Amino acid sequence: MAGLNDLCAVWLADPPAAIRPLSGRQDLQGVPAIGGLSGSPVYRIEPADAAEPLVLKGFHPACPPAHAAWVHRLVRHLVENGISELPDPLKVRGGRGTTLHEDDRGMLWEMLPFKRGAPLSRPTAGQAGQTLALLARLHAAAARLPKHPPQLAVSPGHLRRLEQARRLLDRPWAVRVGGAKAAASAASDARLAAAVVEQLIRAADRFARSGGAEAVAAIVRVNATPLPLQAVVRDLRSEHVLFDPAADAERPAGLIDLHAAGIDSVVTDIARLLGTWRPPTGRGRDLWAEAICEYERERPLSDRERGLIPYYQSSGTILSLDTWFRWILDEGRTFPDPLAVGQRVEELLESFETACQTLRDAVANPRLGC
């Protein structure tokens, strides 16, 4: 642990009493909480003085220092404006005032307070509503980030959706099965690749049976018109929202991991989060409508933004599947937790048919102006 002790010394005067890796933990309902797919190292730190635990976390190796510094400025601004659910990064020792440290390999690190709690895969209506209300307050505060006022422009995320959907129409999954089988045998993680090939075959079948081509064509029909763009989380998933029944079972106790934050529409965060939650049986659209109402009590949405939520959510499911197939079978990427990757792909696959129907319904909404 000498290397980690040296890292901890950047922020702490005394060596920690204990250091242990933080990996995927179970959520409050006993379901494995998928996290850490990027491979960024995360450790729980127990300070020697028995103070509250801390978290030592590395940014992704490809993260530019300027972006990491911007993320920390955003987090500091949000905490100062009342979003106490975010862990506020500690300053390094020595009076430099920075909260980031670059090690001798060029990786950036941060030290954060540990937020107690666990994620939820199936929130109640109250928990979903409280979380969306918190997200609205976060967005309202982020809109006041100095030098980054909201600006009317085309959403970068929407443009990426259009580009990826066109590629998927040109080269659907059924066409890619043969090449994927050949590539899987030579992949660095052949077991993961072989498992994902089987998922690709099932996805191609569901694509044909569920009107996948029609659904993907519907993605392309929704024009990327200007929206208010501001600082948003961008990768807000269920495992990033923590609940602590010992404190308040309904209110989120922590909101973690803003490393992917950037400038885009607030719809990106709303749809991303709702798309990673599993609603109670028979309560899907009603539950999310209630949660969105709670968001709007804090920060109203335009008709266009409201109409885009199911479009972003359902297209995100379809295109996320496509992204995982490309990463693993086309690009041969490897991941630290292959089982978690397989589970992520399986969850997306299970949601595929519903996403296709939701997408077709969303595109029929006159608010989208297709």
Q: What is the mean pLDDT of the chain?
A: 90
Q: Per-residue pLDDT tens for 272-283?
A: 999 998 876 555
pLDDT at 199: 96
Q: Which residue did the predictor score with more confidence, 141 or 122? A: 141
Radius of gyration over every alpha carbon of the chain, rounded to an integer in angstroms: 21
Q: Per-residue pLDDT tens for 228-260?
A: 999 999 999 999 999 999 888 899 999 999 999
Using alpha carbons only, give the angle 232, 238, 240 rounded to the nearest 5 degrees.
Answer: 60
Is the per-residue pLDDT at 33 higher than 50? no
Sheet holding 227-232, edge to edge: 151-153, 227-232, 262-264
Retrieve residue 137's tokens.
């307050």
The answer to whether the CB of 16 falls within 8 A of the CB of 47 is yes
Mean pLDDT throughout 211-228? Answer: 95
- All residues at 6 or more sequence positions from 192 whose CB lies less than 8 Å from its CB, including other chains: 328, 334, 335, 338, 341, 342
CA atoms within 13 A on the CB side of 13: 3
Mean pLDDT throughout 304-328? Answer: 95
Using alpha carbons only, give the angle 304, 157, 35 rounded to the nearest 5 degrees.
Answer: 115
Share of the chain above pLDDT 70, in %: 91
Q: Per-residue pLDDT tens for 64-75?
A: 999 999 999 999
Mean pLDDT throughout 103-128? Answer: 94
- All residues at 6 or more sequence positions from 110 whose CB lies less than 8 Å from its CB, including other chains: 56, 57, 59, 68, 72, 89, 90, 99, 100, 101
Q: Which residue did the predictor score with more confidence, 33 or 328? A: 328
The amino acid that residue 146 corresponds to is P
Q: What is the 3-state secondary structure (H, E, C) of 304-361?
A: HHHHHHHHHHHHHHHHHHHHHHHHHHHCCCCCCCHHHHHHHHHHHHHCHHHHHHHHHH
Using alpha carbons only, give the angle 55, 59, 60 rounded to the nearest 5 degrees.
Answer: 135
Task: Return d(Cα 35, Cα 254) in angstroms, integer.
Answer: 15
pLDDT at 51: 83
Q: Which residue did the predictor score with more confidence, 8 or 40? A: 8
Any idea which residue has 């030098």 for tokens? 147
The answer to whether the CB of 228 falls within 8 A of the CB of 105 is no
Task: Return d(Cα 252, Cα 18) in angstroms, integer.
Answer: 27
Is the per-residue pLDDT at 140 higher than 90? yes
Share of the chain above pLDDT 90, in %: 74
Task: Return d(Cα 79, Cα 235) in angstroms, integer.
Answer: 19
Q: Per-residue pLDDT tens for 180-195?
A: 988 888 888 889 999 9
Is the per-residue pLDDT at 285 higher than 70? no
Render 140-202 in DSSP notation, one character per residue: HHHTT-TT---EEE--HHHHHHHHHHHHHHHS-HHHHHHHHHHHHTTSTTHHHHHHHHHHHHH
